[in-house]
Amino acid sequence: MVALGTIYFWVCALTAVAGALSVVVSKNPIRGAMGLLLLILSVAGLFLALHAQFLAAIQLIVYAGAIVVLFLFVIMLLGPAASTPNDRRGLFARAFGGGLAALCGAAAIALVASAGLAAKHPFPLADVDPSFGGVDAFGSALFADALVPFEVSGALLMVAVVGALAVARGRQGVASLTRSEREVARAATPEPDTAGGAGVYSHEIHAHEEHSS
């Protein structure tokens, strides 16, 4: 009789694979984001199977509650432009990458299966302490042995945020038009609709000229 834990593992594993394939194969960005959400939920379920409650909670809060929502917000902001056009120029590169990923996955599955057969157990996991994966154990490991990498990663993220702000501030403002661009724009300016008004396009050109001056 198959144990309930084994059934739970296979359900989470197959759901994670289905979500990953949906992210890669789906051409609709909304469906790809939903596939990513399914993958994240499945990985959180696998963390729960390993008694890593803290990692499962962080997986749901950070990735499902923040990253996927950010992706959906960007997709909704872009609108129809979020869908990528059909491009066959990179078909070989995509096929090669997919084949290489499938080969690595098959090799990993073969290694796990061979280790399980050698140990005469389908899932050779060692017995761990009941507190493993909890908040106390994770905090002790994070602020004891992994304190320096944790602080270095925090400093790296801070530098990345400051660099992004600097790049964003450097690109602010309206770029001034050159003289030839102004002449082309004046030639393409429509006639005024009324006797006392000018076209909208002419108004935009004058605004650019005032900004550049």
Cα dihedral angle (194, 195, 197, 200), rounded to 10 degrees?
Answer: 50
**pTM of the predicted structure, to 2 decimals:** 0.56
Q: How far apart are CA 11 and CA 42, in angstroms?
A: 8
How many beta carbons lie within 10 A of that of residue 138, not counting itself? Answer: 18
Q: Span 27-48, mean pLDDT?
A: 89
Give percent of the chain above pLDDT 90: 9
* Structural contact between residues 34 and 22, judged by C-beta atoms closer than 8 angstroms: yes
Q: How far apart are CA 95 and CA 88, in angstroms?
A: 11
* Structural contact between residues 131 and 137, judged by C-beta atoms closer than 8 angstroms: yes
Model confidence at 212: pLDDT above 60: no
**Sorting pLDDT into bands at 50, 70 and 90, what band is 109?**
confident
26-30, 118-122, 128-132, 201-205: which range is least confident on average?
Answer: 201-205
94-98, 190-194, 197-201: which range is least confident on average?
Answer: 197-201
Model confidence at 208: pLDDT above 60: no
User: What local confidence, expressed as pLDDT, does residue 131 receive?
Assistant: 67
Q: Set out the domains of the chain in order of their start, with CATH numbers.
A: 4-79+91-147 (1.20.120.1200)
User: What local confidence, expressed as pLDDT, does residue 40 receive?
Assistant: 92
**Sorting pLDDT into bands at 50, 70 and 90, what band is 195?**
very low
**Sorting pLDDT into bands at 50, 70 and 90, what band is 91?**
confident
| SS3 assignment for the chain | CCCHHHHHHHHHHHHHHHHHHHHHHCCCHHHHHHHHHHHHHHHHHHHHHCCCHHHHHHHHHHHHHHHHHHHHHHHHHHHHHHCCCCCCCCHHHHHHHHHHHHHHHHHHHHHHHHHHHHCCCCCCCCCCCCCCCCHHHHHHHHCCCCHHHHHHHHHHHHHHHHHHHHHHHHCCCCCCCCHHHHHHHHHCCCCCCCCCCCCHHHHHHHHHHHHHC
Per-chain mean pLDDT for the chain = 75
